[in-house]
Amino acid sequence: MAQTTFIPEQVKLPLPVAVGVVAQGIRIRLGRSVVTLTGVVLGIAFLMSILTTQSLKRAVATEDALREAASRMYGALVAESGSIYGRPLALVVTQKPSEEEQRLLSRLVREGARELRVWSKGPPLPGEAVKPLRPQLVSNEVTLAHDVAAIVVLGSGPLPQLDWSLAVNAAHQKLLAFSGKRSNQPLLAPNTNYVELARPLRAEQLAQLAREAKQDRFRGRWIIAISLVVTVIGISNAMLMSVTERFRDIGTMKCLGATSQFIRRLFLLEASFTGAVGGAIGAVFGTVFAVVSYFFLYGPRLIAHAIVGELASLGAAAGLSLLSGVLLSIIAALYPAQFAARMLPATALRTNV
């Protein structure tokens, strides 16, 4: 004999109450929250460091190109001379060395050249480029080239007066390397190994570089995608643990009148909090990590300048990271939240009546 009574929709619980419960919950279960938080932090830090790196890379592109060119020259040189570690080098300066040539010299010093002998006739060599070695000025061909790994002619200027046959014969491998651009290499002595270090790249090499860059980008994106998926799974797992731990609380609240929607909202809120905080911390960590790495690679001055120039894009990257943190956490929490919301109060209580 039931009257069809009109039962109104359960009143939506005001948001502040839900927020209060969540905040208290996080405070109480700080230990477990920290684990979830760390997961978010790591995932977002990784994302942010990648984005920051991309930004900074753009800013140091010029410097990068120079180092790249110097690297190629160095490679060309050691291909002919073999390792220069512990061996002397002879330098003939025809012109103030270009930026690339200066990087080459630094590289040679870093790779262990034992001494640098410079032909005394010609423009001076900037001491900066060859620190910590101190170049020795030499005016005798034999002394200049005795047992050197190579004689390197820097710059594209006119060749100084020099008995090239004498010099080349004194060199270990009779290797004469031109690092500057010359329309054609002058043949200066018989039986000499000539090598042009500053060869322009052939088309195939350029294509190869482009392919490699593309592969790098693809690989980079793939790694980001995977790391984000791992982060999401980690958060999901932590949230499922959290739901299981609170079976009893969920059941109790449902008995007291909480709707499924309320329960779901509780967990999604908790996830958003964790995501926001984790995203913020992760963004900071990621930026710091990338900037510090670049500090060591390129020097503080260049990087500070780069940061100022790229401030807008860095800000956008930070915002994106923060948003990702929140979004990823919410996505990760969808299944656990649904699981909790779906629980029948009786199941959740497990009363052994």
Q: Which residues bind other proteins (CB under 8 A)?
A: 1-5, 7-11, 13-14, 17, 21, 24-25, 27-28, 248-249, 251-260, 262, 344-346, 349, 351-353
Which CB sits closer to other proteins, 90 or 341? Answer: 341
CB 37 → other proteins: shortest distance, Å?
Answer: 18
CB 4 → other proteins: shortest distance, Å?
Answer: 8
Which CB sits closer to other proteins, 2 or 312? Answer: 2
Distance CA 97, CA 178 (A): 12
H/E stretch holding 200 reads none
Among 252, 244, 246, smallest CA distance to 349 is for 252
Which CB sits closer to other proteins, 10 or 205? Answer: 10
CB 24 → other proteins: shortest distance, Å?
Answer: 4
Distance CA 189, CA 174 (A): 9
Do residues 340 and 250 make contact, with C-beta atoms less than 8 angstroms apart? yes
Distance CA 284, CA 304 (A): 17
Which CB sits closer to other proteins, 203 or 353? Answer: 353
Which CB sits closer to other proteins, 24 or 208? Answer: 24
Dihedral angle at the C-alpha atoms of 55, 57, 63, 66, nearest 10 degrees? -150
CB 328 → other proteins: shortest distance, Å?
Answer: 26
CB 259 → other proteins: shortest distance, Å?
Answer: 5
Could you tell me where the beta strands, DSSP code E, fall in the chain?
Answer: 88-93, 115-119, 136-138, 151-154, 175-178, 193-196
Which CB sits closer to other proteins, 247 or 285? Answer: 247
Q: How many CA atoms lie within 13 A of 342 on its CB side?
A: 6
CB 7 → other proteins: shortest distance, Å?
Answer: 4
